[in-house]
A and B are shown apart, each in its own frame.
Chain A
């Protein structure tokens, strides 16, 4: 799990062009969409959905679940662990 979280942080930085961040800057429970965290926006949320499908083969069928899944790297990793093919 810890390996997956580090991998996810690196993929988020690369996919979302977060050039001001290093993997070590992101804590597992930092909020992804709040200013005190990564301050992502709605387009980033769509990119995360693409990332889940492309990298882990997971389709987010119910967009309403997105809010809970994308709270932090920890919640994303939990979701991937449970659903990846």
Chain B
């Protein structure tokens, strides 16, 4: 990452923070925030949860896509005092290519016996938005796009329109991918109007 933060885009969005989680490594604003002992998804996400010192029992019930988005958002929002809970001023705008396929397959496999309700509830990609919203009491705008590749510009254009036309003042925007074989990538930005 070779850009200086914060930077303002041609329209309205100002990118305050940028976060990448890939291959067992978490980079915040281009610097290493956390390096896991393993790249293996479940173990890595658990170690990241412990690293940031969270106490949130419901985390362990989430599927991997939710855990990834939940932790990424926690790290991005940490220390941002202007963002309050119980607000409609924070938007959540995500995209990925695999939707919730990883969990869909898990659920399909569970149907052979007795289907698991706890797995079923995560068979939609936008559940991650719900988990983040419940945690922070966000009532604002939200969207989960499915696109072949990460189209950062398109997501920011959409975010610009939220800043222009709605009560949105902050937005967590970006790519949250959890592939069929648990291969993961989070590339999120915290933007402000």
Give Cα A18 to B116, complex, Å.
16
Report whether over half of chain B's contact residues are helix, strand or loop; otherwise say mixed.
loop
Which of the candidate stretches A1-9, A22-30, A42-50, A60-68 sits at the interface with the other chain?
A42-50
- CB distance B60 to A17 under 8 Å? yes
- Residues of chain B within 8 A (CB-CB) of A39 are 57
- Residues of chain B within 8 A (CB-CB) of A50 are 114-117
- CB distance A47 to B117 under 8 Å? yes
Q: Nearest Cβ in chain B — how far from A42, in angstroms?
A: 9
- Is A19 in the interface zone, CB < 8 Å from B? yes
B-contacting residues of A (Cβ < 8 Å)? 16-20, 39, 43-44, 46-47, 50, 53-54
Give Cα A50 to B61, complex, Å.
16
Interface size for B (C-beta < 8 A) is 11
- Is B121 in the interface zone, CB < 8 Å from A? yes
A-contacting residues of B (Cβ < 8 Å)? 55, 57, 60-61, 113-118, 121
Nearest chain A residue, comparing its CB with the CB of B56:
A20
- CB distance B61 to A17 under 8 Å? yes
B55, B60, B114, B115: the one contacting A18 at CB < 8 Å is B60
Are A18 and B121 also in contact (CB < 8 A) when A50-B116, A54-B113 are?
no
- CB distance B117 to A43 under 8 Å? yes
Given contacts A16-B118, A20-B57, 15 further A-B contacts (CB under 8 A): A17-B118, A19-B57, A19-B60, A20-B55, A39-B57, A43-B117, A46-B118, A47-B116, A47-B117, A47-B118, A50-B115, A50-B116, A50-B117, A53-B114, A54-B113
- Residues of chain A within 8 A (CB-CB) of B61 are 16-17, 43
- Residues of chain B within 8 A (CB-CB) of A20 are 55, 57, 60
- Residues of chain B within 8 A (CB-CB) of A44 are 118
